[in-house]
Amino acid sequence: MYDAARRQDAPIAIMTKKTPTSAATGAAANALWGGRFAAGPAAVMQEINASIDFDRRLYRQDLAGSRAHCRMLVAQKIISAEDGAAILRGLDEIEHQIDSGTFVFAAALEDIHLNIEARLKERIGDAAGRLHTARSRNDQVATDFRLWVRDAIDGLTTSIIALQRALLAKAEAHVDTVLPGYTHLQAAQPVTFGHHLLAYAEMLDRDRSRFADCRKRLNESPLGAAALAGTSFPIDRHQTAAALGFERPMANSMDAVSARDFAAEFLSVCAISGVHLSRLAEEITIWMSPAFGFIALSDAFSTGSSIMPQKRNPDAAELIRAKAGRMIGDLATLLIALKGLALTYAKDMQEDKEPVFDAADTLHLGLTAMAGMIGDMTVNATAMRAAAERGFMTATDLADWLVRRLGLPFRRAHEVAGRLVRVAETKGCDLAALSLADMQAVESGITREVYDVITIERAVASRTSYGGTAPARVREAIAAFKERLP
């Protein structure tokens, strides 16, 4: 499973062409990718061509794919059981070396696949060369990449759920805490803080659903498509697909090696989820400002100023807000790289991994930091309540009452409420402080009963429609949400 704590995997050394080693020589590299080439690449060609500095992250997936392929080759009697056993032992040794940090990767061997293959040959000899029977680096990397993205989705889903649980816990503690709800960043109607936080829990639930959809679509195996046309060997692609947890083999060999829409879809979900985090980060930044004073963050999630000792800055929130742009950029990077590619594989597609790795790391960090901030957050309910008393936020409740009790058309009721707001502004008071005479001067039918609906608490409690902000509804929503979480 994707684990952000292992973003750099094991401590791995990258060996340049100047490092003396038998595995890194130009001759060794040429032996792996073609007898047609007599000389090694130019230094700059090696630098631009190599991907080992980032695709080493695929080592677990590459080893898993090789094991599945090896077992299938043995089962189909394409290679001997003895060679198969030697290959599997060698792959286990290599995994141990990478995990322990003793495996030295060679830049001259370009990528994760050739590095592992070269080391396997060092360990077991010529039998290593049989592993690549009936496969190509094209289907190999496509398989590794799908496995990695699938693991990343599983890890990010866990991170989303952790943030959702933090939001639910804070919402449950503030089911009755009232604050202004805004449109155009202008006070609009009173809502509860619990209801406000649940809006983000719902956004994240759609992100979780999008990741699940993406996972379902990508869960087909390219392995066995070989370079692009399949293979003449009697392989069993269903066996390798099942061994790797895929639902089925991909149906078209050309599509199998060239498709990267799964990566684009993954990046799209990361970008959308990043935008959701950014919106919440913006609210945290606003709420924490002295002008609002709705919340406070402890030293654990805020920083000070190098010159102004009174400052407490919500840097974690601000960084999350900025990182949304990074994920959007990752999506654009991949789409631009893919848009002009004819079938099937082109080296351009080597550029598919870094934006995916970056987005996965960035989103995981944002989700984890946001969950920490939500848990750390101290809520100033008094400041929230005081803000809710400003801005005549029960004007809509007044208009609704005029419709229900006096039978006014809503547009007429809206006009009456607006005129009463103007009266209250002139007197420097809120609507509930207007006298009955003041109200009747605008609309003679108004009775004392109107005061039962234009207080903040009554206004909030009256929003009992499904999905509304009434505390009773919020409690129901929290309970229902807990049932939806795994």
Q: Which of 80, 298, 305, 435 is catalytic?
A: 305
Distance between CA atoms of residues 351 and 349, nearest Å: 5
305 among known catalytic residues: yes
- Contact yes or no for 322/293 (Cβ under 8 A): no
- Contact yes or no for 297/250 (Cβ under 8 A): no
Residue with tokens 């038998």: 22
Alpha helices, DSSP H, located in 52-136: 52-55, 59-75, 81-100, 112-124
With the C-alpha atoms ordered 80, 85, 90, 92, is the resulting torsion angle positive or negative?
Answer: positive
**329: exposed, middle or buried (Cβ count in 10 Å: 0-12, 13-18, 19+):** middle
245 φ/ψ sector (left φ>0, alpha ψ -120 to 50, else beta): left
**238: exposed, middle or buried (Cβ count in 10 Å: 0-12, 13-18, 19+):** middle
69 among known catalytic residues: no
Return the bridge partners of 379, or none: 295
Q: Which of 96, 184, 196, 444 is catalytic?
A: 184
- E strand intervals along 171-288: 178-183, 186-192, 220-221, 248-249
- Kindly list the catalytic residues: 184, 305
